[in-house]
Amino acid sequence: MTAPYGRVALIGLGLIASSMAHAIRAAGMATEIVGHAKSPETRAIARDLFCDRVCDTAAEAVQGADLVVLAVPVGAMAAIAAEIAPHLKPCATVTDVGSVKGAVVEAVGPHLPAGTHFIPGHPLAGTEYSGPRSGFATLFKNRWWLLTPLGDTDTAALARLRGFLEALGANVDEMEVERHDLVLAVVSHTPHLIAYTMVGVADHMRRVSQAEVIKYSASGFRDFTRIAASDPTMWRDVFLTNKDAVLDILGRFTEELFMLQRAIRMGDGQQLFDYFTRTRAIRRGIIEAGQDTAAPDFGRGADPVKG
Ligand code: NAP
């Protein structure tokens, strides 16, 4: 079993960091958890609920830490990296949990001093809730945690981080930075944008048809609203920083949509049937891979959405 880190510093104390803190405690994977977040309110909650110590600045929080986790929105990573860089312990491991990897590597990498080990990461786990009260110890259980090590990554530091994340319940995989951003554009980012759009359309319709859209939302729409309730800051940053991959997938999506639109217009039932048969097989594959439940109604209430 991987040895626990001594001091772990969590920068940003929202859903992901608070879940990590609960999971680290449950697994006994650190001797001290130190935290920092922007607002005094969040810092006070974290002090009460899951941090051994909370600091007013990120610079203070990382001092003496063996592992530093950047768990802030992607757009906030560069300023935090610049602030903490002079205060990092030599040989500390620095990772992040940002939903986009290329932009984080660019924003964080140049600030970090030689001797520290920067290993970008991304847990494919989340819910539509945010903030320091939303975390829970089992969030990462049986979920993927992707690491995107850079060319010169120290293998011992990587193995240790990997073991630590596995102790939190995650299945760890490694991927190239660019590949990560393209894959996530397909499985997470573009679906979120579509959910936001669909809920926006319904909101517009609601004004036309009073409350009916909400009242009869039991079918697919309710799942869209759950995804579209995700944190606006986080998702703004995702789209601003994974622009190329999302625009690529969105272009492909639009082409398929036009194709289906045409099939509907032309009454081409065979084309629709074949298309839906293929997509149904993808759903079966996800269940077989253990990434969702086969319970009817999407196992509502039991399963997190991923970011
Ligand atoms: P969250 O619940 O909204 O929490 C964000 C935290 O970052 C808050 O504690 C916030 O502090 C803090 N913060 C923001 N700007 C800061 C700054 N300049 N300095 C210090 N602290 C700052 O977000 P989250 O869901 O945990 O997401 C965190 C990261 O994980 C994001 O990069 C996101 O892309 C990634 N991620 C999210 C999910 C998901 O489903 N939610 C999944 C995987 C990865 P205050 O509370 O004081 O504002």
The residue segments making up the domain with residue 229 are: 179-267
- Calculate the alpha carbon distances from 6 to 40, 48, 71, 154, 155 in Å: 26, 21, 19, 19, 19
Residue 304's pLDDT is: 43
In the reported structure, the alpha carbon of residue 218 is separated from the centroid of ligand 1 by a whole-number distance in angstroms of 30
In the reported structure, the alpha carbon of residue 137 is separated from the centroid of ligand 1 by a whole-number distance in angstroms of 17
DSSP secondary structure code for residue 231 in this structure? -
Q: Decide if 75 is inside a domain.
A: yes
Does residue 227 share a domain with residue 199? yes
- Choosing from 175, 201, 231, the residue where a domain stops is 175
| Contact present, 19 and 135 (Cβ < 8 Å) | yes
Does residue 169 share a domain with residue 184? no
Rounded CA-CA distance 66/89 in Å is: 7
Strands 144-147, 121-123: pairing is antiparallel
Q: Decide if 126 is inside a domain.
A: yes
Ranges of residues in the chain with a pLDDT under 50 are 301-305
Residue 285's pLDDT is: 84
Does residue 97 share a domain with residue 60? yes
Ligand 1 atom nearest to CA at 43:
47
- Residue 234 Cβ contacting ligand 1 at under 6 Å: yes
Does residue 263 share a domain with residue 247? yes
Give the closest residue (by CA) to ligand 1 atom 18: 76
Q: What would the DSSP string read from start to end of 51-98?
A: -SEE-SSHHHHHTT-SEEEE-S-GGGHHHHHHHHGGGPPTT-EEEE--
Does residue 62 share a domain with residue 13? yes
Residue 207's pLDDT is: 65
Rounded CA-CA distance 219/295 in Å is: 15
CATH number of the domain that 200 lies in?
Answer: 1.10.3660.10
Condensed to tens digits (0 to 9), the pLDDT of residues 111-125 reads 999 999 999 999 999
Q: What angle do CA 73, 181, 119 make, to 5 degrees?
A: 65
Does residue 119 share a domain with residue 61? yes
How many domains is the chain partitioned into structurally?
2
Residue 305's pLDDT is: 45
CATH number of the domain that 161 lies in?
Answer: 3.40.50.720
Condensed to tens digits (0 to 9), the pLDDT of residues 210-244 reads 567 777 776 678 888 888 999 999 999 999 999 99
Name the pTM for this structure.
0.92
Residue 293's pLDDT is: 78
Does residue 196 share a domain with residue 232? yes
Q: Residue written as tokens 């104390």?
A: 13
Does residue 227 share a domain with residue 214? yes
Does residue 94 share a domain with residue 204? no
Residue 210's pLDDT is: 56
Give the closest residue (by CA) to ligand 1 atom 9: 13
Does residue 52 share a domain with residue 129? yes
Q: Decide if 106 is inside a domain.
A: yes
Does residue 135 share a domain with residue 233? no
Does residue 258 share a domain with residue 153? no
Q: Decide if 56 is inside a domain.
A: yes
Residue 205's pLDDT is: 75
Q: Decide if 245 is inside a domain.
A: yes
Rounded CA-CA distance 23/88 in Å is: 24
